[in-house]
Amino acid sequence: MLLFIKQAKYLLTFTSLLLVSSLSFASTSTAITPTDPAYVIHTALDKITTFSSNSDKVNPVKLRGFIEHEIIPHFDFDNMSHWITGRYASNMSDNDKADFQRNLRETFLSSLSKHLGSFDAKNTRVKFFPARYRGPEESFVSTSIYRPDAPSVRLDFRMRRDADNWKIIDVKANGSSAVLYYRRHFISQLRQYQRNIRPY
């Protein structure tokens, strides 16, 4: 299992573009309070807009540092890893789980670093919809993204309460889930690994 996890640093173009699109849209004037789940998205937006306006975005080290310290913490990788591995987690050691979560986080970080440096948010417009709640601990923040050079995209952020904060546990683009994409890839790679080690 550990060998499989180390081999699981795959390139997920769909997910990386999804995340960059979801976090890099033009600001709106809608007033949102810190208790609203959408506040997390607005906070990330403000940080990215400010960072994208200076020259640091073309410096790979500063870009990676910005994403690691300002954007990545908005994601709940523990929850995401648990959902992706599902029942297979029972066959994973604590070290395996930690390695998987670390690799998942690194994949997100690397993908965002690759695409965010050249992304221009000035020509992108976003429309927010009121947050929807599934009990007190889970919510959904939906947006529509408009760009002059592409069809509009519906983005749905699945959020989970973490103490007094809300964290992102999934993003859907026009109904396509990033976490589900990871889960399918994980299962596919796991099955391939099991076939490779099966004795003849």
pLDDT in tens, 129-182: 888 999 999 999 998 888 788 788 888 999 999 888 899 999 888 888 888 888
Residue 33 has pLDDT above 60, yes or no: yes
Q: Is 141 exposed, middle or buried, given 0-12, 13-18 or 19+ CB atoms closer than 10 A?
A: buried
Residue 143's pLDDT is: 85
Residue 198's pLDDT is: 58
Residue 45's pLDDT is: 76
Is the whole model's pTM more than 0.95, yes or no?
no
Largest Cα span, the chain: 64
Q: How far apart are CA 198 and CA 57, in angstroms?
A: 47
* Beta-strand relationship, 125-128 and 165-173: unpaired
Domain 2-197 part of CATH 3.30.1490.20:
no
Residue 115's pLDDT is: 67
Q: How far apart are CA 27 and CA 46, in angstroms?
A: 7
91-100: long-range pairs with CB below 8 Å, 24+: 91/1, 92/1, 93/1, 93/2, 95/2, 96/1, 96/2, 96/5, 99/2, 99/5, 99/6, 100/5, 100/8
Length of the chain equals 200
pLDDT digits (tens, 9 = 90+) for 168-194: 999 888 888 888 888 888 888 877 766
